[in-house]
Amino acid sequence: MARLNRREFVLTGTAAGLAAAAPTTVFGQAPAVTTRSSTKPVVVSSANGHQYKNGGPVTAVEKAFSTMVRGGDVLDALIAGVNIVELDPEDTSVGYGGLPNADGVVQLDASCMHGPRKRAGAVAALEGVRTPSLVAQKVMDYTDHHLIVGADAQRFARNMGFTIESDLNTERSRKAWLEWKRRTDSLHYLDPDKREAAMRQVDREMMAEGYIDPNHYYGTINCNGVNAKGEICGVTTTSGLAWKIPGRVGDSPILGAGLYVDGAVGAAGSTGRGEANLYGLCSFLIVEGMRRGLHPKDAGLEALKRIQANTTEKRLLTPKGTPNFNVNFYILNAKGDYAGVAIYSADRKQQFAVCDEKGPRLELSEPLLEGSTD
């Protein structure tokens, strides 16, 4: 697929207008955009949506946006985008090569929601399938259920024709797990408080030494989109928390937590500490905030304030009394307004991915708090 330029992103609201655009290899100046509605088509995602290409010419947000504006179903477009990240072994937060659980097994979670169809599907603790987002879509399309888990999720995937692999580790993810095991085996019988601090120190050391990408410790890609017709969809997919207890399920496959879409209002999804997001079902909270008229940024910051207020355990607090973890949200409304927000912006360097008629790019997330998790 040739790299798309800005001219190819022009939206006329008709298939004929889209087909008239001629491909080139660089982004030029964007011409005026004409649509059949007041919606500004846009795709937003976590930063890895514009960082990985799996050896191809485009990133996830580029793929999703181009497919969407050429007339493709919005959810199909978003999933085609995140498949790039799921299949890329360089991203250790999702799919193939995602960091494994405490037993060295890669277990994957995913969810998707289709605003126009008012349908959803999800899988959790799925082993052996590189693209859990596609399995979640099959749950949505072929069952009357929203969530299938564990060995039964794998059995469902096999029945849907997916190849089941015995191991989704790469050399890199296995090496990181072996190093983690080497450093933590002696910690297994400490008292709970001391073990928590010791495990956190090990993780920090491994991040500093390059075994773990700090942005991928919690993992995940969320990707949401709205087209010129105002049709909204979303998808979230992850390998979950690094070294998690086997069977642990975070927020990503839970509707209202790791993802929520209301076709009349907007979409929100998350990355970061899943347990904190699960407690408040914050993606749902954000969409409800937009229903009340809040801008995506303000709705997102409101949810982050809720997370901060609910974080009271000492082990989860910095010496300043603020959360010692990060949570990020990626948000858009039915008009095409969007935002990325985070508890911390790491000195205003936290980014999220966007693609619209101006082309794909990374933008800075709006932080709730200054500084970092230290």
For 117-127, what is each residue's pLDDT tens digit? 999 999 999 99
pLDDT the model gives residue 237: 98
Distance CA 119, CA 362 (A): 30
In this structure, CATH architecture of domain 43-167+214-369: 4-Layer Sandwich (3.60)
Q: Is pLDDT at 19 greater than 50 in this prediction? A: no
Distance CA 179, CA 167 (A): 18
Q: Boundaries of CATH 3.60.20.30 in the chain?
A: 43-167+214-369
Q: Is pLDDT at 84 greater than 50 in this prediction? A: yes
Average per-residue pLDDT for the chain: 87
Cβ atoms of 263 and 106 within 8 Å: the answer is no
Q: State the Cα torsion 198-201-202-206 to the nearest 10°.
A: 180
- Residue count of the chain, please give it: 374
User: For residue 266, is it left (φ>0), alpha (ψ between -120 and 50) or beta?
Assistant: left
Of 84-93, 178-187, 293-302, 321-330, give the lowest mean pLDDT range.
178-187
β-sheet bridge partners, residue 262: 266
pTM of this prediction? 0.84
Q: Is pLDDT at 276 greater than 80 in this prediction? A: yes
Burial of 18 (0-12, 13-18, 19+ CB in 10 A): middle
Residue 205: band (very low, low, confident or very high) from pLDDT cuts 50, 70, 90: confident
Q: Is pLDDT at 107 greater than 60 in this prediction? A: yes
Residue 213: band (very low, low, confident or very high) from pLDDT cuts 50, 70, 90: low
Give the pair of three-digit tokens for residue 207. Answer: 């991040």
pLDDT the model gives residue 27: 33
DSSP assignments along 130-164, one per residue: S-HHHHHHHHHHH-S-SEEEHHHHHHHHHHTTPPP
Residue 184: band (very low, low, confident or very high) from pLDDT cuts 50, 70, 90: confident
Tell me phi and psi for residue 262, to 5 degrees. -120, 120
| Residue type (1 letter), 271 | T
DSSP 8-state symbol, 357: T
pLDDT over 70, % of the chain = 83
Residue 18: band (very low, low, confident or very high) from pLDDT cuts 50, 70, 90: very low
Q: Is pLDDT at 359 greater than 80 in this prediction? A: yes
Burial of 209 (0-12, 13-18, 19+ CB in 10 A): exposed
Distance CA 67, CA 83 (A): 13
Q: Which alpha helices (DSSP H) does the chain contain, by range?
A: 15-19, 60-69, 74-87, 132-142, 150-159, 171-184, 192-208, 274-280, 282-291, 296-310
The residues carrying an active-site annotation are 220
The CB density around residue 10, as the number of other CB atoms within 10 Å, is: 18
